[in-house]
Homo-oligomer: A and B are copies of this chain.
Amino acid sequence: MRVVILAGGTGGAKLAEGLQAVLPQGDLTVVVNTGDDTERHGLLVMPDHDAILYMLSGRFDFERGWGVAGESWTVMEALAEYGEEAWFRLGDHDFATHIARHARLAGGTRLTTAVRGLQAATGIPSVILPMTDTPVRTEIRIDEGWLDFQDYFVRRRQVPDVREVRFAGIDVARPTGDVLEVLVSADAIVIGPSNPIVSVGPILAVPGMREALAAARLRGAPVAAVSPIIGGKALKGPAGRMLTSLGMESSALGVARRYADLIDVMVIDRVDEALVPVIEALGPRTVATDTIMADDAGRARVARSVLESMGRPV
């Protein structure tokens, strides 16, 4: 059963990890947001791709919430001594990821092939595909003006209210052939519980991506979305406040409204069960279940629930 998940940050990565655990080896493909990507010290850093890579290869630091477990910081400290900006912290293992990717890109390899090489080296059975090979960069407008995404997300710790979001480079971006191929042969497609605006948003904004999802549904592959908002709040990250400051509702309903025309099934948390009829009125069949993914068992449980909600039980 070929399952595709569209994912950004931690929530989507956790569900991807759960899906990898419950599906037969090799059946999972993750299409990952690249809007968070950034150039640090002349190296391409891909926070969402790498969170998923580390999670799927069992190296993610769940305690810190990002990066590799047991990380060391020698390079970053030495870089700071050379006067390099140090607010965007990168560990030694993380640097190795960025250097290995940079080496491939500097050799003329396209982005998808470069990251596939890293994934293969870690031995993960799943495939992680960048949504596109060309640079897309999420930018955030706060009252003071436009910021690069990581400037808002890391340096300013998501404190300022978000007034507007744009994806630089999105007009000329296209889904890669690799992405189109997995969508055209998918048996089920999941929109992960990632920030709907800045994690899933860029993926859906790639010209041709919505049409590829619509085509998959036309040939019978169900699309389900999992709400990252539980009881009106995001478990982690700024999704809740971002929805509100952009004039949307910080609730599973607000999320469902963004996806309603794209999906067959909406999966929300049990605490939001009262919203089921309201969301169903928008179109998608709606399932309320425990969506907290606190550990391996939780991630596998949610993965099973989501597959079951689409009529694709494992």
Q: Which residues of A contact B (CB under 8 A)?
A: 39, 41-43, 72, 74-79, 81-84, 92-93, 95-97, 99-100, 102-107, 117-118, 121-122
Q: A84 contacts which of B42, B78, B100 (Cβ < 8 Å)? A: B100
Q: Give the residues in chain B near A95, CB-CB below 8 Å.
A: 75, 95, 99
CA distance A121 to B78 in the complex (A): 11
Query: With A42-B107, A105-B42 as given contacts, are A79 and B92 in contact (CB-CB < 8 Å)?
Result: no
Contact B75 A92 (CB under 8 A): yes
Picked from B42, B43, B82, the residue with its CB within 8 Å of the CB of A118 is B82
Residues of B within 8 A of A103 (CB): 41-43, 84
In the bound complex, what is the Cα–Cα distance between A291 and B18 (angstroms)?
67
Contact of A75 among B77, B99, B105 (CB under 8 A): B99
The answer for the CA separation of A16 and B79 in the assembled complex, in Å, is: 25
Q: A97 and B82: CB pair below 8 A?
A: yes
Q: Which residue of the partner chain, among B43, B77, B83, B92, contacts A78 with CB atoms under 8 Å?
A: B92
Q: B93, A74: Cβ atoms under 8 Å?
A: yes
| Cα distance, A74 to B72, chains bound together (Å) | 8
Once bound together, how far apart are the Cα atoms of A78 and B95, in whole Å? 9
Instruction: For A82, give its contact among B41, B75, B100 (CB under 8 Å).
Output: B100
Q: A79-B100, A82-B97 are in contact. List 20 more A-B contacts (CB 8 A).
A: A39-B106, A41-B100, A42-B102, A42-B105, A42-B106, A43-B103, A74-B74, A74-B96, A75-B95, A78-B92, A78-B96, A78-B100, A81-B96, A81-B122, A82-B100, A82-B117, A82-B122, A83-B100, A83-B117, A83-B121
* Complex contacts, A99 vs chain B, CB 8 Å: 41-43, 75, 79, 84, 95, 99
A77's nearest neighbour on chain B, judged by CB, is B96
CB neighbours (8 Å) of A97 from chain B are 78, 82
| Residue in B closest to A72 when the chains form the complex, CB atoms | B74
Instruction: Check B107 against A92 for contact (C-beta < 8 Å).
Output: no
Give the complex CA separation of A124 and B226 in angstroms.
Answer: 56
Q: Let me know if A75 and B96 touch, CB within 8 A.
A: yes
Supply 27 A–B pairs (Cβ within 8 Å), ascending by A. Answer: A39-B106, A41-B99, A41-B102, A41-B103, A42-B104, A43-B102, A72-B72, A72-B74, A74-B92, A74-B93, A75-B75, A75-B92, A75-B96, A75-B99, A76-B96, A77-B96, A78-B92, A78-B93, A78-B97, A82-B96, A82-B97, A82-B117, A82-B121, A82-B122, A83-B100, A83-B117, A84-B100
Q: Which residues in B have their C-beta under 8 angstroms from that of A42? A: 99, 102-107
Closest to A83 in B: B121
Docked Cα-Cα span, A107 to B84, in Å, equals 13
Tell me the smallest distance from the CB of A10 to a CB of chain B, in Å: 22
Kindly list chain B residues whose C-beta atoms are within 8 Å of the C-beta of A102. Answer: 41-43
